[in-house]
Amino acid sequence: MKKEIFESDIGESYIKAVHPSGLKIYILEKPQYTSSYAVFGTKYGSIDTCFSVDGEETSVPEGIAHFLEHKLFESEDGDAFTKYAKTGAYANAFTSFDRTCYLFSCSDKFYENLAILLDFVQSPYFTEQTVQKEQGIIGQEIRMYDDSPGWRVMFNMLMQMYHNHPVRIDIAGTVESIAKIDYELLYKCYNTFYNPANMFICIAGNVDAEKALKQISEAVRAVEPIEITRINQPEPETVKSSYVEQSLAVAQPLFCFGYKEATSKPEKTVKERICTALLMEIIAGDSSPLYRQLVNDGLINDEFSTEHFNGYGYSSVIFEGESSDPKRVSEAIKREVERLKTEGIDKKLFSAVRCGMYGNAIRLFGNVESIAMQLVDCAMSDSELFDEIKYLKSVTVEDVYRHLSELDNEKTVLSVINPIELI
Amino acid sequence: MAEKLLRLADGVDGLFIKNDRFNTTLVSCNLYLPLKKETAASFALLPFILTSCCKKYPDFSRLNYKLNRMYGARLDATAEKYGDYQLLRMSVSVINDRFSLDGESLVKQACELLLRLIFEPATENGEFLEADVAREKRKAIEHIKGEYGEKRIYAKNRLIEEMYKNETYGMPKCGTVEEVEQISGSALFKAWEAMLKTAYIRFQVVGASLPAGLFDEISAKFADTQREAITDCKVSAPTAPAVTVNTVEELSEVNQGKLVMGFSSELYGNDDCSLPLTVMCDIFGGGPYSRLFANVREKMSLCYYCSASAVRQKGLLTVESGVETANAEAAQKEILNQLEAVKKGEFSDFEFDSSIKSICDSLNSYNDSQGALDTWYALKANNENLYSPTEIAQKISTVTREEVIAAANGVKLHTVYKLLPKGEKSI
């Protein structure tokens, strides 16, 4: 197995290994900790609805990646939760737009837990009967999210921001789309995206890296690597519509305001992501003049937040929260973006937010879960764990300023959830 | 060994939780006060206004700028119900000095800042400043209203309100919108004085070393404060069993209903007397091995989530579930069937062992989380013995089947609250 060790001046180091199957493995040892956190993941999420392998094109129903995640816990010899119950580990899984991750955390019996993880993720067992049962449970999960204002306000925005990109579709799909899923389709997706060459294992905590690597190496199936081509229809640079609203049983309006960013290449680099993160802090972080003005005008509260939402073929800068007047908030953000473009960025503010972000990057190394999840990000984007800290030391105000041009006030969407009573 | 408190002033304790694995240091101030209708709203506003500005940083923007300069130091504020008391928490956490790029004493600065925020607020002539009060009131009101949109939280709050109709525990933790609206700058100042005078106060430090002089400085801060009628938060009134079960059903514009059930428990109190309730609650509705998950969700597919939790201090057990209207009655029936099964000891050794292992595994992870450790000790103010998570794990591992069955037999249904989609009444 090919191995590399990465070290940093903050006293942390990790091993990156590549298994002959193509599986990537990242391990950061924390011998002074009691617990460990492990993730077995695949680059497969809700956006992978159309793909080709060896020239054969396949389209699958929306929500199938999430459905597969639910079903993978069941094996022929019982479900994974029952196996974990014998060790006491906490186990879970999640599906997002571009990844599916199976994880556990434990303070004892790490290698037993790792064996369970390696086994069930590589042992699919789908039958007509178990697929039918899951349609009921996931149907209820979908309905639960239909009532979640925070979820709806975000997806309504994505629906208007993207014409074609499947990021606009709810991760769990719809009751109608999941009804089209059968066990044969599940096997097809599994055999495509759960190929080790498309997967990664990330571990942080009280583990012996060499021992874990040996265990993983012995447990990974010998499968020929395959090349997956993701097929997306071309996505126009424009948004579908700049405003969308829905009414739900809430007491005050919620909003999600996003800038659609150009995606000249499918994924953003670490440098681009850091510049955008700094830029969002400069535009509307809690030390910014805009944040001060919005709070003093009674337009935002502590729920206000920013996010750089990006993945394969999509990128958006998002501002969200609660407000009595979402339109005024979005207009104020647009004005601030224009002001910064004209007047430039306050160097003192840049220096302060960069310092804050550097401290936050250090802070993440104090928690095994956050380290493991950062390693997952590294595996997804082929970057390295210490890149952020390194780049934060050298990034300049000019670097950040250049990214302002990505924010175009003509390519924005404001999504609002209004209280039902007002309609 | 249980942790030991250091007395810093009358009713003011210091607790240093030594743990050298973190790259940050956390200092928290925890204030315990009686939960009363007339004071709940103003007390609850205090942690938020105090951590938004102070005499030295009268503008919240400047304060946030300072926090950024301190390598992203974090200020946190909460106001929670703690049994029949209110727990106000303010904390600061900062990366350790060795990580600063220019050798700054970040931990010292963070301690100084926290003390300034608590003891030197931005006030004039015995009043908090009007703009600050208006801002924090608005945010508090929006927060209260915001809970209505989160139906899981809303349904649980409504259950507690119904279950403890004429008791303090039934009150909202931060008061009502109307009560917040009435708070004035001078009333808030009086509440701040009362808080410093009458709260039981615990300063906690979680980190590699105790910042030099911190506890002495805190003692000195209280030298001029007349401490009186100090809150004793050791005992909360237990939940009395209901004479008849109260069922409340409300309709809302939702797609999925919420079924929340409240139970009284005869077993209640602190860590020395109520741990079997934790195990019982976990076997009943904890992890995927639990009766509720395995039967109500997995076997019968009645809901996506169905879980139980307990407030041992109050002798309260709750079950929360998201259900379709058509399934609400069946789900309620099955939840009660599963409780009966636990009462009769009809749980397997696998379920019992899984529960003990899961609770212990989770407790043994606490030492790896600074925030979790701080919260752990803050929530132990009702205990004479401050057991560590590891010590509680050891105690949990000695809980017997018989103790679990006895705990289950003291659990009685008290109130059922259902939030259902409009036009789909279940009964």
Give the residue-averaged pLDDT of B205-212. Answer: 94
Q: Cβ contact (<8 Å) for B61 and A105?
A: no
Query: Could you tell me which residues are beta bridge partners of residue B246?
Result: B415
pLDDT of B419 reads 95
Report the alpha-carbon distance of residue B215 to residue B226 in Å, rounded: 19
pTM for the model:
0.94
Nearest neighbour of A286 by CB, restricted to B64, B254, B358: B64
- Helices A289-296 & B130-149, crossing angle to 10 degrees? 80
Residue B201 at interface with chain A, using a CB cutoff of 8 Å: no
The 10s digit of each residue's pLDDT in B77-102 is 999 999 999 999 999 999 999 999 88
For Cα atoms A282, A284, A288, give the angle at the middle one, nearest 5 degrees: 60
Contact by Cβ (8 Å): B236, B313: yes
Report residue B285 CA to chain centroid gap.
20
The answer to whether the beta carbons of residues A201 and A25 sit under 8 Å apart is yes
Residue type, A410: E
pLDDT at B424 over 80: no
Query: Residue A423: its pLDDT value, please?
Result: 37
Distance in angstroms (rounded) separating the CA atoms of residues A356 and B67: 7
pLDDT confidence of residue A422: 41
Give residues 203 to 222 of A whose Cβ lies within 8 Å of B: 205
The answer to whether A103 and A91 are in contact (CB under 8 A) is yes
Average pLDDT over residues B390-416: 98
Rounded to an integer, what distance in angstroms lies between the CA atom of residue A395 and that of residue B252?
Answer: 51
Q: With beta carbons less than 8 A apart as the criterion, state whether B217 and B392 touch.
A: no
- A-contacting residues of B 273-332, CB under 8 Å? 287-289, 297, 301, 303-305, 322, 324
Per-residue buried b or exposed e for A293-314, using 16+ beta carbons within 10 Å of the residue's own CB? ebbeebbbbbebebebbbbbbb
Q: Do residues A309 and A299 lie in contact, with contact meaning Cβ atoms separated by under 8 Å?
A: no
Greatest Cα-to-Cα distance within chain B, rounded to the nearest angstrom = 68
One DSSP character per residue, B251-295 reads EES-SSEEEEEEEEES--SSTTT-HHHHHHHHHHHSSTTSHIIII
What is the bridge-based pairing of β-strands A243-248 and A412-419?
A: parallel
Q: Is the CB of A223 inside 8 Å of chain B's CB atoms?
A: no
The structure tokens listed for A374 are 């950062």
- Run of H or E including B202: strand B200-207
> What does the pLDDT read at residue B426?
47
Length of chain B: 427
Start-to-end C-alpha separation, chain A: 62
Residue B2: the pLDDT is 61
Q: Which of A220-234, A404-418, B246-260, B388-402 is the least confident region?
A: A220-234
Token digits of residue A147: 């009532």
Secondary structure of residue B225 in the 3-state scheme: coil
Phi-psi group of B158: left, alpha or beta (phi > 0 → left; psi -120 to 50 → alpha; rest → beta): alpha
Residue A22, judged by CB atoms within 10 A of its CB (0-12, 13-18, 19+), counts as middle
Q: Please report the pLDDT score of residue A237 as a whole number.
A: 94
Confidence of residue B170 (pLDDT cuts 50, 70, 90): very high
Closest-CA residue of A relative to B422 is A249
**pLDDT tens across B15-45, in order?**
999 999 999 999 999 999 999 999 999 999 9
Q: How many H helices and E strands in chain B?
A: 15, 13
Residue B129 has pLDDT above 50, yes or no: yes
Q: Is the pLDDT of residue B190 over 60?
A: yes
Q: For residue B55, what are its two tokens?
A: 């005499």
Interface contact A137, partner B, CB < 8 A: yes
pLDDT digits (tens, 9 = 90+) for B65-79: 999 999 999 999 999
For range B268-280, the mean pLDDT: 96
Q: Please state the rounded mean pLDDT for residues B301-305.
A: 86
Sign of the torsion formed by the C-alpha atoms of B121, B55, A278 and A203 = negative
Q: What's the farthest any 2 CA atoms get from each other in chain A?
A: 65
Mutate to test the interface with A, among B64, B70, B290, B356 (most CBs of A within 10 A): B64
User: Which pLDDT tens digits describe chain A residue by residue (423 residues)?
Assistant: 899 999 999 999 999 999 999 999 999 999 999 999 999 999 999 999 999 998 899 999 999 999 999 999 988 888 899 999 999 999 999 999 999 999 999 999 999 999 999 999 999 999 988 898 888 888 888 888 888 999 999 999 999 999 999 999 999 999 999 999 999 999 999 999 999 999 999 999 999 999 999 999 999 998 888 999 999 888 999 999 999 999 999 999 999 999 999 887 777 888 999 999 999 999 999 999 999 999 999 999 999 999 999 998 999 999 999 999 999 999 999 999 999 999 999 999 999 999 999 999 999 999 999 999 999 999 999 999 999 999 999 999 999 999 999 999 999 999 999 998 643
Asked if the C-beta of B226 comes within 8 angstroms of chain A's C-beta atoms, the answer is no
Decide the pairing of beta strands B303-311 and B257-265: unpaired
pLDDT band at B344 (very low <50, low <70, confident <90, very high): very high
Judged by CB atoms closer than 8 Å, whether chains meet at A106 and B361 is answered as yes
Taking the C-alpha atoms of residue A317 and residue A259, their distance in angstroms, rounded to an integer, is 5
Q: How far apart are CA A80 and CA A63, in angstroms?
A: 22
Percent of chain B whose predicted confidence (pLDDT) is above 70 = 98
Quick check: A358 and B368 CB within 8 A? no
Do B319 and B292 contact (CB within 8 A), yes or no? yes
A chain contacts of residue B253, beta-carbon cutoff 8 Å: 247-249, 420
Helix (H) or strand (E) holding B109: helix B106-119
CB pairs under 8 A between A and B: 184
Strands (E) located in A54-99: 56-59, 74-75, 78-79, 90-95
Query: Quick check: is A7 catalytic?
Result: no
Q: What is the mean pLDDT of residues B125-140?
A: 97
Round to whole Å and give the CA distance between B174 and B154: 14
Cα A411 from Cα A416, distance rounded (Å) = 17
Residue with tokens 């700058």: B185
**Any A CB within 8 A of B423 CB:** no
Contact (CB, 8 A) for A371 and B368: no
Q: Is the pLDDT of residue B1 over 80?
A: no
Distance CA B381, CA B375 (A): 11
Q: Report the pLDDT averaged over residues B320-349.
A: 95
Q: Which of residues 272-331 of A touch B (CB under 8 A)?
A: 285-289, 291-292, 295-296, 298, 301-303, 322
- pLDDT tens column, B362-373: 999 999 999 999
pLDDT number for residue A183: 93
> For B26, phi and psi rounded to 5 degrees?
-120, 130
Which residue matches tokens 């979820």? Answer: A151
Residue among A86, A106, A352 minimizing CB distance to B65: A352
Q: Are A184 and A124 in contact (CB under 8 A)?
A: no
Q: List the strands of the sheet with A100-106, edge to edge.
A: A2-7, A13-18, A24-29, A199-205, A36-42, A100-106, A90-95
E strand or H helix at A414: strand A412-419
